[in-house]
Amino acid sequence: MRKNVNPHSSRFFSDKKWIIPFFASLLVSITLLLASIFGMYSPNIDEDVSRFDGMEVGKKSEEWTDYFVEDNIRRSLALSGNSKNEPPRFAYLISGTKGDSQRIMRVLQAVYHPRNQYILHMDFEAPPRERLDLTMSVKSDPTFHQVENVRVMDKSNLVTYKGPTMIACTLQAIAILLRGSLYWDWFINLSASDYPLMTQDDMLHVFSNLSRNLNFIEHMQMVNGWKLSQRARPIVVDPGLYLSKKSDLLMTTQRRSLPTAFKLFTGSAWVVVTRSFVEYCIWGWDNFPRTVLMYFTNFMSSPESYFHTVICNNEDFRSTAIGHDLHYIAWDNPPKQHPRILSMKDFDKMVKSGALFARKFARNDPVLDKIDKELLGRANRFPPGAWCVGNSSGGADPCSLRGNYSDFKPGPGAARLQELMNTLTSDEFQSKQCSSK
Ligand SMILES: *[C@@H]1O[C@H](CO)[C@@H](O)[C@H](O)[C@H]1NC(C)=O
Ligand SMILES: *[C@@H]1O[C@H](CO)[C@@H](O)[C@H](O)[C@H]1NC(C)=O
Ligand SMILES: *[C@@H]1O[C@H](CO)[C@@H](O)[C@H](O)[C@H]1NC(C)=O
Ligand SMILES: *[C@@H]1O[C@H](CO)[C@@H](O)[C@H](O)[C@H]1NC(C)=O
């Protein structure tokens, strides 16, 4: 059909008799083509994706896959869901600000595993001296040096925490991670005030058994209420986009109308998202993630809405969104602007939640030592995993000798996480995906 519109046929257009039959047949063939593609292939694709199965998508539509962007997305979903032969890998971004370098280091060590990738970011408020200190501690660690999976972002970004500069920073880190030579499966966003509640062996073991298509994004649709009027109607400007000194978001007096081209979603700014989803956001086969990014430039608290709005408005990814951020976060009742600082008395609740991480913690709070000791079994630099095969007698660090990175020694944390995963992937939970409740 594409051949019919080649330049040689243009001379026929001067003869009016040709036009009507020509366009009529063109219209019929396009209709038939669209009907066959959307009518025959889409429904079973959607159904399959929503069951989180890896499957062979579009076998029949293979000859057309180069013409439709959406088929590319489906193909990549199908491929990523299938790659179960190797255990997964996580890509972490750990970010902090002035005075956070030691906390970043502590979080890094607590979530370290040689399978994973790590990027550390200290924002522009931190003095260059502190960034240098962090870089030096990474450089001088023999394990990081040999495995080469920890990197510090050299140029720091000016980040306004409720503004678009935060999303830009996250997307930049993901872009760097995507360009890395090593394949990874999930991206995880942490700050210096987060801390893990289980070992990487626990996480890797449980995630080995999950579909690689699941995105953990706590989300709900913004319908009516204060959130819409306080977030979607105002127009804010983030000076971090163009000034060299940090200042707060500017509020303008104008208000704008609510979007009608897409639905707005909001939720937690902490996410565990798949490689295929962030590839969709960053590599941009489809223009939607870019359009939404621009829309959110003037949006209040955009990091709590960007990924959520993108994922819930895409019919292929929507069914992969699990409404949980895998964090334990405690809010006051009624909730204040920031979550409650966790301490010793929250320990049991944190453990019971089955979550991967908790936040937020005060610097060197004693509860972190308790987590190290009782949940992570950490006596040396890293929580010991099956990859640590060195001699540990006399308090030596067993992780100084590295074994097979694909071996895991799951502990009680894995059982807690498995239980949480069973709830999250249950039918009842899935029925709430991207809904307005
Ligand atoms: C990522 O993590 C930071 C914590 O450093 C958080 O403030 C931010 O909103 C998160 N999410 C996104 C989408 O950037
Ligand atoms: C993996 O999942 C299957 C079914 O979903 C379950 O039967 C099996 O026990 C799980 N394996 C592990 C190691 O958790
Ligand atoms: C571990 O090291 C101690 C001495 O530091 C030695 O006596 C012991 O045999 C070693 N164990 C193994 C399994 O190599
Ligand atoms: C590492 O362990 C995995 C799983 O236990 C195994 O399949 C693989 O062959 C091992 N690799 C090496 C080099 O021993």
185 shares a domain with 73: no
Among 384, 341, 383, CA closest to 366? 341
d(CA 369, CA 378): 9
pLDDT value of position 52 = 41
Rounded mean pLDDT of the chain?
85
Please measure the distance between the N-terminal and C-terminal CA atoms of the chain and give it in whole angstroms: 46
Whether the CB of 252 sits within 6 Å of ligand 3:
no
Place of tokens 């366009």: 23
Determine if ligand 2 sits within 6 Å of the CB of residue 209.
Answer: yes
Q: How many domains is the chain built from? A: 2
Cα of 208 vs centre of ligand 4, distance in Å, is 15
* pLDDT at site 21: 67
Confidence of residue 426 (pLDDT cuts 50, 70, 90): confident
Same domain, 330 and 373: yes
Q: Is 372 a member of any domain?
A: yes
Question: Which residues span the domain enclosing 71?
Answer: 45-82
Instruction: Read off the pLDDT of residues 298-314 as tens digits, 9 standing for 90 and up.
Output: 998 999 999 999 999 99
Predicted confidence (pLDDT) per residue in 381-404, tens digit: 999 999 999 998 888 899 999 999
pLDDT at 351 over 70: yes
pLDDT for res 198? 97
Ligand 1 atom with the shortest distance to the CA of 169: 14
In this structure, are 54 and 201 located in the same domain? no
Ligand nearest to the CA of 394: 3
Question: Does residue 14 sit within a domain?
Answer: no
Angle at 93 between CA 92 and CA 94, to 5 degrees: 110
Distance CA 90, CA 175 (A): 15
Quote the ligand 2 centre to 210 CA distance (angstroms): 9
- Domain match, 199 and 335 both: yes
Q: Are residues 277 and 316 in the same domain?
A: yes
Banded model confidence at residue 68, pLDDT cuts 50, 70, 90:
low
Band of the pLDDT at 78, cuts 50, 70, 90? low
Could you tell me if residue 17 is inside a domain? no
pLDDT, mean of residues 251-261: 92
What is the CA(209)–ligand 2 centre distance, in A? Answer: 6
Nearest ligand, CA 87: 4
Tell whether 208 and 291 lie within a shared domain. Answer: yes
pLDDT of 53 over the 50 cut:
no
Residue 12 confidence (pLDDT): 46
| pLDDT tens digits, one per residue of 259-307 | 999 999 999 999 999 999 999 999 987 899 999 999 999 998 999 999 9
pLDDT at 73: 67
- Using the structure block, give the residue that is written with the tokens 């003037």: 298
Residue nearest to atom 13 of ligand 4 (CA): 404
What the block records as the tokens of 145 is 């040096």
**CA-191 nearest atom, ligand 1:** 5
In a domain, 6, yes or no: no
From 37, 65, 82, give the residue that closes a domain: 82
260 Cα–ligand 1 center, Å: 27
- Of 25, 54, 82, which marks where a domain is finished? 82
Q: Are residues 78 and 94 in the same domain?
A: no
Indicate which CATH number applies to the domain containing 379. 3.90.550
Ligand in nearest proximity to the CA of 396: 3
- Measured over the CA atoms of residue 366, residue 370, residue 373 and residue 376, the dihedral's sign is negative
Q: Is 23 contained in some domain?
A: no
* 164 and 292 both lie in a single domain: yes
Q: Are residues 203 and 330 in the same domain?
A: yes
Q: Which of 36, 62, 82 is the last residue of a domain?
A: 82
- 422 Cβ below 6 A of ligand 2: no
Query: Does residue 435 have its Cβ closer than 6 Å to ligand 2?
Result: no
Q: Please report the pLDDT score of residue 380 as a whole number.
A: 86
Does 206 lie in the same domain as 130?
A: yes
- What is the structure's pLDDT at 16? 61
Lowest model confidence (mean pLDDT) among 51-55, 73-77, 86-90, 115-119: 51-55
The answer to whether residue 8 is domain-embedded is no
38 found inside a domain: no
Q: Is 111 found in the same domain as 155?
A: yes
Q: Which ligand lies nearest the alpha carbon of 401?
A: 3
| Distance between Cα 393 and ligand 3 center (Å) | 6
Question: What is the Å distance from ligand 1's center to 271 Cα?
Answer: 8
Q: Which amino acid appears at position 1 of this protein?
A: M
Choosing from 388, 389, 393, 401 the residue with most ligand 3 atoms within 8 A of its CB, the one to mutate for a pocket test is: 393
| pLDDT band at 427; cut points 50, 70, 90 | confident
Is 345 inside any structural domain?
yes
Ligand nearest to the CA of 393: 3
Q: Is the CB of 401 under 6 A from ligand 3?
A: no
Both 69 and 116 in one domain: the answer is no
